[in-house]
Amino acid sequence: MEDVRKKWKKVQWDNEITYKTFLTYSVLFVLVTISIYLLFWLRGYSFIWSHDGFNQHYPILKEFRNMLVDFLKHPTQVPELWSWQIGMGGDVVGSFGYYVLGDIFAYLVVLFPADQMELAYTTLILLRLFCVGIAFLALAKNFKINHIAAVTGSLVYVFSGYLFVSATRHPFFITPMILLPLLCLCVERVLQKKSPVPLILVICWTLVSNFYFAYMLAIMVCIYTVIRYFTHYKKQGIPLLSTIGKLAVYAITGFLMACILFLPNLIAFLGSSRANGEFANGLWFYDLSYYLSLGKMYITTESAGYWANLGFAAIAVFVLPFIWQYRKKYPVVFISLVLGLGMMLFPFFGALFNGLSSPSNRWMFAVALPVSIGVSFLLTDYKTLTKKDMRNFLITIIIFIVVSWWGPNFNIYQPILLVPLT
């Protein structure tokens, strides 16, 4: 019996990512999802938010299903490009493109009958969340992270505070968290001299999915590529200029493939009121309450404002001292965290990622990736942790207790104080 137990531990901790890893993730995803969202069913709530969900996302999904069904019934008929069902009349591509036309998940709505649209809406949200973890595992496999570490990291990534907030409010906000690890993985493949086709296809998907997040993802992936090249691939003798040239050609190819939807959506956006406004609302710094909320925001779903949401599992607390201690071993994660945590301090970056308009930190979904990868690296190296590491972990816990306690909503009975210790 003891031999079996030792063998099981060895398989779980030392094995690389295989189909069993994806199966394990699938089972745990279902269990965690039930434990979180069962309350919706018990209380009689749906996933349709009473604001934008009810007024925008759900009606658009219903109308999109009607459009798809009409097309399938009459495939030779030219689809209408103008609809009087959109307000007082509107452009179908310009109005639907931002939400559903480029969303590959939205097309699955045709599999549901017209009287089960609420079920369709909920199912598509859960499917997107599931795919977030699958995308993370695909990237983790490239970094040769072991079985349990990868599964744990994927769950930290999927069930982060950003997705808790956005999943039921703006379902299409989930897709960027699928695309980010896939884009990073595809860049890795190109740098490893593998086929560029996946990168071209994912770039095309990114651009047709939502140009707003495509803009953010383009900046993020460029930063990732630069960091990854100078910390790893440059040492392997890969030439810089030819690499930039190849990546540029692949990016342009993906862009040209996406133009049929990307350009109409961009034109529609530039003609709307959202494209106007003072850069960062004239702010140089956020208000004090924002900064006081940052510590608590890291380990809860409580937002600091300006769409700043992190909300990681308790184990993510230990990522910060771990990555700092081993920053030379994991430079990509270290630099990414320094940049991410630094940029959230200034409205300039919120406005930059928000299309050069008002400060909105929706870009912070990207911070979940280095944090979750950091969790995976932490668990991969658990056997080599030293007493110094343990001391650093304890100091970090104390710091988080202080910053979580002494926030804008000071309360001596803070339940959050228990989170890092459980």
Spatial contact of 313 and 159, defined as CB atoms under 8 Å apart: yes
**pLDDT of residue 245 exceeding 90:** yes
| Residue 13 pLDDT grade (very low, low, confident, very high; cuts 50, 70, 90) | low
Give, rounded to a whole angstrom, the gap between the first and last alpha carbons of the chain: 30
Q: In whole angstroms, give the CA distance from residue 103 to residue 113.
A: 20
Q: What is the pLDDT of residue 35?
A: 92
Per-residue pLDDT at 264: 82
Closest CA to 64 of 30, 103, 19, 33: 103
- 314 within 8 A of 300, measured Cβ to Cβ: no
pLDDT above 80 (res 268): no
Domain map (residue ranges) of the chain: 281-421
For residue 127, the model assigns a pLDDT of 97
Q: Which pLDDT band, with edges at 50, 70 and 90, does 421 fall under?
A: very low
Q: How far apart are CA 395 and CA 405, in angstroms?
A: 15
CB-based contacts of 407, cutoff 8 Å, min separation 6: 292, 293, 295, 296
What pLDDT is attached to residue 417? 40
Confidence of residue 9 (pLDDT cuts 50, 70, 90): low
Average pLDDT over residues 238-265: 92
Q: For residue range 352-410, list pLDDT tens digits in order.
A: 998 888 888 999 999 999 999 999 999 999 889 999 999 999 999 998 888 777 655 54
Who has greater pLDDT, 271 or 310?
310
Q: Residue 186 is encoded by which pair of tokens?
A: 């595809």
Which has the higher per-residue pLDDT, 367 or 41? 367
Q: Which positions ≥6 away from 245 have C-beta within 8 Å? A: none
DSSP string, 127-188: HHHHHHHHHHHHHHHHTT-BHHHHHHHHHHHHTSHHHHHHTTT-GGGSHHHHHHHHHHHHHH
pLDDT tens column, 47-72: 888 888 888 889 889 988 988 998 88
Answer left, alpha or beta for residue 80, where phi above 0 means left and psi between -120 and 50 means alpha.
beta
Residue 149: which region, alpha, beta or left (left: phi > 0; alpha: psi -120 to 50)? Answer: alpha
Buried b (16+ CB within 10 A) or exposed e, 82-96: eeeebeeeeebbbbb
**Percentage, residues of the chain above pLDDT 70:** 90
In terms of average pLDDT, the best of 140-149, 259-268, 298-307 is 140-149
pTM of the model: 0.90
* pLDDT in the model for residue 113: 93
Query: Does residue 231 surpass a pLDDT of 90?
Result: yes
- Looking at the chain, the whole-number percentage of residues with pLDDT higher than 90 is 57
User: From CA 217, how far away is CA 187, in angstroms rounded?
Assistant: 13
Least confident span in 82-86, 104-108, 365-369: 82-86
Task: Provide mean pLDDT across the span 217-226.
Answer: 96
pLDDT at residue 95 greater than cutoff 90: no
Quickly state the pLDDT bin for 275 (edges 50, 70, 90).
Answer: low
Q: What is the pLDDT of residue 407?
A: 58
